[in-house]
A and B are shown apart, each in its own frame.
Chain A
Amino acid sequence: TPSSSDVLLTEDAVRRYLIRKPMTTKDLLKKFQTKRTGLSSEQTVNVLAQILKRLNPERKNINDKMHFYLTE
Chain B
Amino acid sequence: SNSEADEMAAALEAELNDFM
Chain A residues near B5: list those with CB within 8 A. 26, 29-30
A22-65 vs B, CB cutoff 8 Å, 1 = contact: the mask equals 00111001100000000001001110110011001001000000
Task: State the main secondary structure of chain B at its contact with A.
Answer: helix
- We find that the number of chain A residues with CB closer than 8 angstroms to chain B is 16
A26-B5, A30-B5 known; A45 vs B16 contact (CB < 8 Å): no
CB distance from B20 to the nearest CB of A (A): 7
Name B's A-contacting residues (CB within 8 A): 4-9, 11-13, 15-16, 19-20
Name A's B-contacting residues (CB within 8 A): 24-26, 29-30, 41, 44-46, 48-49, 52-53, 56, 59, 66
